[in-house]
Amino acid sequence: MAKERGRPTFVRRNEKDLIAVATDALVSGFPNPERIGCPEARILDAVAGRRLTFSEVNDVVDHIATCSPCFDIYTGYRKKYCARHNWKRSIAVVALLAALAATWYLGRQVLPQVAKRPPQIAEVAPMTAVLDFHDRTAERSDQVQSSRPIAIPHLRRSLLSLQIRLPIGTEDGQYSIEFRRSAGQTVVQTTGTAKWDGTTETLSTRIDLRTVEPGQYTLALRKGAASWRQYSVFVD
């Protein structure tokens, strides 16, 4: 059995034909002042809103084409529906433009902030390093207690868990620690705690030398407001 075809609907092409026929007819004059055979307004509204099938609207179309008052009413309904459709389309376009403008504005606000972020140094496990100054005098830091020459220790340019063995006679407590250039400019500073472990006074600290230029530096230490004790150190 053949499938039943769907009922044809009243489409834009039929509407154009209607308007052409009705316009020609109205030129000849169909005033119909008595409104003989005129359909109800709701029927004209349904035709203008395309809520009737072609078979249902066929007789109404013939009447509209030969009745000037009905044609005027139909035309008014069509203008209303077209205006409503255009208004919805305009709202959609305005909403889209607003969304694009907001995205552009927020992008201009966020991107400069991202560009201005300072470079981050990846966090890694600190390396253990030891500086042994226990044989230096407590009064003059870079002077050894014997006559042998001073050996300047080396540190790697890394994140360090640093143990500093201080001269005998150094007190326990909190110490300020600075790495200084030859001109006295401080490039890195931190703090640490010194404790007596039974054999050596050891100052424990954590210091990041990854951004320090290679070369010779002065390591300066002091407790509270006491005088600085200074030691020479190479950073490789």
Q: What is the predicted pLDDT for the residue at 208?
A: 94
Element of type H or E holding 127: strand 127-132
| Residues 140, 163 share a domain | yes
| Residues 159, 75 share a domain | no
- Are the C-beta atoms of residues 137 and 143 closer than 8 Å to each other? yes
Q: What is the predicted pLDDT for the residue at 182?
A: 86
| Residues 109, 16 share a domain | yes
| Residues 222, 150 share a domain | yes
Asked if residue 2 is part of any domain, the answer here is no
Q: What is the predicted pLDDT for the residue at 166?
A: 92
- Are the C-beta atoms of residues 179 and 186 closer than 8 Å to each other? yes
CATH number assigned to the domain comprising residue 230: 2.60.40
Of the ranges 69-73, 126-130, 168-172, which is most confident? 126-130
190: β partners:
177
| Residues 137, 107 share a domain | no
pTM above 0.75, yes or no: no
Q: What is the predicted pLDDT for the residue at 27?
A: 46
| Residues 35, 106 share a domain | yes
Higher-pLDDT residue of 41 and 166 is: 166
Q: What is the predicted pLDDT for the residue at 16?
A: 62
- Are the C-beta atoms of residues 166 and 222 closer than 8 Å to each other? no
Task: Enter the DSSP assignment of 170.
Answer: P
Element of type H or E holding 163: strand 159-166
Residue 232 reports pLDDT greater than 90: yes
- Look over the chain and give the mean of its residue pLDDT values, rounded to a whole number: 78
Query: What is the arithmetic mean of pLDDT over 41-67?
Result: 75
Asked if residue 121 is part of any domain, the answer here is no
Domain range for 208 is 127-235
| Residues 211, 141 share a domain | yes
| Residues 168, 106 share a domain | no
Domain boundary among 95, 115, 135: 115
| Residues 60, 137 share a domain | no
Q: What percent of the chain has pLDDT over 70?
A: 65
Number of compact structural domains in the chain: 2
Asked if residue 214 is part of any domain, the answer here is yes
| Residues 96, 35 share a domain | yes
